[in-house]
Structures are given as structure tokens and as C-alpha cells.
Structure 1
Amino acid sequence: MGASSDPTQDGSDEQQKRSEIYTYEAPWHIYAMNWSVRRDKNEFCGPLTSFDWNEAEPKRIGTSSIDTTCTIWDIEREAVDTQLIAHDKEVYDIAWGGVGVFASVSADGSVRVFDLRDKEHSTIIYESSEPDTPLVRLGWNKQDPRYMATIIMDSAKVVVLDIRFPTLPVVELQRHQASVNAIAWAPHSSCHICTAGDDSQALIWDLSSM
């Protein structure tokens, strides 16, 4: 009769193998470490939260991801133009403002503007007044690109911004009775914006009177 295997011993061996996989005996003291993404894995593994098509350059689209990045794609070449670490936390929305310029909002509570001619820097246009309050949606005025609007998570107000005067809202729209979850600038007008919320209302605002 053959010898029976000991399940306890098998489990112990397996545990030892798992432990050994992640063990590294360095010949010197280790003071820091970092992860390195293997390029033979899926290079764009972070789930996408939003995208926007560049109307000025129809071959380009931009995507935002929970991995803190924004990725610019060239759809004619079916390839990535560039990928930027845009924020400190998840990026929830992206919007183009013209040729080579886009903005994004994030769980870190900021609106940032990027110019692809200078990929090393971005401009913070606005930050939530309360720390760690995410901004979830962004709309850029296509008729007048000086203006954009953003939504604060679980908030009934919409913040309208002028990129010439960072950090200071032009106006805060507050008529909804519940959280706002969508915004859209009118395609034919620079002073009209529509907002929709959990109160089952879609409101059209005329900003020329504000």
C-alpha cells in the first residue's frame, strides 16, 4: 500500500513556496523601494472614468482613469500620443479646451489644465474648499474657452470658473434640491449651461445676467 500524503505538510510546503516568491535578501541595507510595471502585462490596466473627443483635432481623444492618469490617443495611428500622471488621486473627468489643451478633475479636489506643449507642468485652476472633497464632472465652454464648470461630489451646486483667475469661482449655481450629476454648455451660446441632478430636474441657466 502506497504512503498517503499529509495535507498539513502539503499546505506547509505551499505556504513556504508563496513566501519564497516574495523574499529578497539584499547584500546591503534597503532604504527605499518602488513598484515597476511590467510592460509585458496590460499597459493600460486602470479602469477608465470618462473620455472626450477633441473637436479641433478630430484624430485625438483623451481618456481619464482611476490610476491618476490622463491618456491622449491618436485614433488614426491607433496608438497613444502621451500618458500623464494628472492628479494625486483618481481622475473622474476630462475635457478638451482647444488644440493641445485639456483639463481634468479628480478625487483630489482639483481642476487642472494641461498644455501638451509642456507636459511637465499643469495649472491648478480650482481646488475644493473642503479638503478631500472630490470633483466629479467638468464642462469646458466651447464658445468661450475662458470658462468652465465643475461639479462637487454629493453637492447641489455647480462651480463656474474663469481660467484667467485661478482658484476664485465666477459664480456658484445653487437651485437644485439634491446632488448635481451632469453639466453641459450650450453648443450655440457662450452664456447658457444646463445642469441635471438627483432632484429629477434639468435646469438651463443664463449666465449673462450673473
Structure 2
Amino acid sequence: MDNSTQESHLRSDTLVTYDSPHTLYAMSISSSPTNRIALGSFLEEFTNRVDVVSFDDQTLTLKRNPNLSFDHPYPPTKLMFHPNPLASGKPNDILASSGDYLRLWEIKENSVEPISLLNNSKSSEFCAPLTSFDWNEVEPRRIGTSSIDTTCTIWDVERGVVETQLIAHDKEVHDIAWGEAGVFASVSADGSVRIFDLRDKEHSTIIYESPHPDTPLLRLAWNKQDLRYMATILMDSNKVVILDIRSPTMPVAELERHRGSVNAIGWAPLSCRHICSGGDDGQALIWELPTVAGPSGIDPMSMYTASSEINQLQWSAAKPDWIAIAFANKMQLLKV
């Protein structure tokens, strides 16, 4: 199949598959009418790739535009389109990526232009790698990054300056998520979930700690439909931990039906009670959180099995009927 006009060839009414020439990890779905999906390669070398594919939900096809593929230094640890395209002030999609630095790119109709490279290291051109970032939906000028150097940095990306930098944890910070305009949370190798309010930078609130000391927490997802709830996952664990920030320390639910480590989580964009998880067992599970959990735990409401470990998932905000999962060199869109 010619890569230049590569289209998905495995499809049904509920499943569309895109085959990439590379192993995939980072992934983002645009919320603009372009229906674009950015896919980052995971290659153990300096030069990696970001491909941009378009999804046609009428013909159920995915098409790659070779003019929108570009080199990226190191594998991107995260990709994210501007969460509010109308507020970006630009007619085109804006894409952010993290790796060695935070970068912004403008995705034009047939080209990609780098907008900015943001580096907060004063001492040298080298900096601690960024593990993740989150783009603030309420204040789109803000992006928060997390780093292996224990810090979280809040950028004003419109001005290209650091708004603030916090030593957030005792060890590497693995993920960051915005709640409100000035409130974010982070998870770390120190095993804690902490919430920060930019109005009081000296203090943070620990709302959860791993039951086994120093078990790293890898991912964090804040429920945008109900900010009382967030989800996190532990390293080498089959559990998704659901937290209620009103009752710290004790999870309100633990979802334990995966048969391997959970790697990715995503809340439904339009529902406060639905979440999807993907793991090493190749399963993408969709859960409906009950108002009261039963004594035997919670079973998923639906299940999809991929052919290998699921490394990443995204629940589309623009098209809430679709969830994208990445495994090996494939990206699949699942209709839910």
C-alpha cells in the first residue's frame, strides 16, 4: 500500500484501522472540523515522526496527508491539539508536543510550521525531559508540563514565557491534568496525587497515596464533566483508581478487571460516569461507575480486544461516539 495516500483497509461500521509504518504511542484527536488525528512514533532513536491523518466518519476512512508528516526529536511523550480551536486566533489546527522541550506547531492545509520551542532551562541548552503536559481548556494560553526533574511548569504559550514553576513532588512527575483555570493535579513516582492552586503556590493537597510506598503513579485523568472525580493508574497494576477529591486518601472505586497492567485511561467527554481503560492484556474496557459499588467490585459495560498491548487511548471530544486506541503500529477507532 502506498504510504502517500494510505487509507485504512480494515473497517466495519464500528471499527476503523490505520496501519502506520512505525510503532505508535502519542496520539491526539482535533476538536476542530478538520477531523484530524496526530500520531507520534515510538522509535528508540533521535529522529521520530508525527503523522497527521484525517478521519471521514461518513465513509469510515482514515487518510494520511504526507505533507502533514514531520520529524520530531525523540518520541513525543504526548501530543495535544488546541482544546478550543475558535479561541486560538488562528485559522489552522495548533498542535503541542512534549519530549525534550514543549513545542507548538501550526498544521496548515498542506504544511506544518513550527510556532515555538519552549525551554525553561536557564543554565544550558539541555533540559530534563518532559513526561507529559496538559492544555488548559478554560485558559487556553496556559499549558502545564511535568518533568522528571520533580517540577511542574506553567507556561503562558501566547507570550512564550513561564508563568510559574513548582517543585511538585519528591520524585519524577509522570503526568499533569488541569481541573479549573488555576487548579491542576499531578502524579509522580513518589506515589502521590497532589492538587495545586495557582493562587497559593506554597501549598498542595495530597488526595491519594499508593497503598505500597513508592509505587509510582503513571497517569492522571480529571473528569471534566464532574471535577470532583479523577482517575489514576499505578505502575504494573491492573487497577484503575477512581478518586473523589472531597474524600481524600480512600478511592471511591477500584476497577480491577484487566488481566494485565493498565496503560491508559480516558473519561467520556460528555458523561461524568463513563471511563475507558486500556492495558497490556490488549483490552479496552468501558466502565459505567455506579452510584454505589457492590461488594464484588464493578464489571465493565463493554469490552474490545486488540491484537497486542494497548499503549494509548483517546476518547474524542469532537465525536464522542469514537474512542481511538494505539497498539503496536496500529491506531484503531472504536465506535461506542
TM-score bucket (shorter structure): 0.7 to 0.9
Q: Give the distance between the partners of 1:165 and 1:69, measured in 2 at CA.
A: 26
Q: Once the 2 structures are TM-superposed, how far is the Cα of residue 99 of structure 1 from its aligned partner?
A: 1.0
Q: Structure 1 residue 88 and structure 2 residue 170: aligned?
A: yes
Residue 124 of structure 2 is matched in structure 1 by: 41
| Structure with more strand by fraction | 2
Normalised by the size of structure 1, how large is the TM-score? 0.80
Amino acid at match of 1:149: A
- In 1, Cα distance between equivalents of 2:123 and 2:128: 15
Q: CA deviation at 1:45?
A: 1.1
- 1:58 paired residue among 140, 164, 168: 140
SS of the equivalent of 2:195 reads: strand
Q: Equivalents in 2 of 1:39, 1:171: separation in Å?
A: 43
Q: Secondary structure at the match of 1:105?
A: strand
Paired position in structure 2 for 1:176 = 258
Which of 154, 157, 179 is 1:72 aligned to?
A: 154
User: How many angstroms apart in 1 are the aligned matches of 2:251 and 2:122?
Assistant: 42
- Matched residues, number: 172
Whole-angstrom CA distance in 2 between matches of 1:102 and 1:208: 26
1:123 aligns with: 205
> Residue by residue, what CA displacement relative to the aligned partner does 1:124-145 show, whole Å, maximum 9, x if unpaired?
0000010110000000000000
Alignment of 1:151 with 2:233, yes or no, is yes
Q: Which residue of 2 aligns with 1:113?
A: 195
State the SS of the aligned residue for 1:190: coil
Gaps of 5+ in 2: 1-120, 294-336
Corresponding position: 1:198 with 2:198: no
Task: Say whether residues 1:188 and 2:270 are aligned partners.
Answer: yes
Q: Distance in 1 between matches of 2:252 and 2:238?
A: 17
Matches of 1:78 and 1:92, distance apart in 2:
23
Cα distance in 1, alignment partners of residues 263 and 122 from structure 2: 36
Root-mean-square deviation (Å): 1.2
Structure 2 counterpart of 1:116, which letter?
A: L
Task: Name which one, 1 or 2, has greater alpha-carbon Rg.
Answer: 1
What do the CA deviations read for 1:95-121 (whole angstroms, capped 9, x no partner)?
Answer: 000110000000000000000000000
Kindly provide the amino acid, as one letter, of the partner of residue 251 in structure 2. P
Runs of at least 4 residues of structure 1 off by over 4 A? none
Give the AA of the match of 2:205.
T
Aligned residue type for 2:145:
T
Aligned sequence identity (%) = 76
Could you tell me how far apart the structure 1 residues matched to 2:228 and 2:267 are? Answer: 13
State the alpha-carbon separation in 1 of the partners of residues 209 and 150 from structure 2: 16
**Which whole-Å CA distance do the structure 2 matches of 1:109 and 1:152 have between them?**
8
Q: Report the residue type matching 1:205 in the other structure.
A: W
Q: Deviations over 1:134-166 (max 9, x none)?
A: 000000000000000000000000100000111
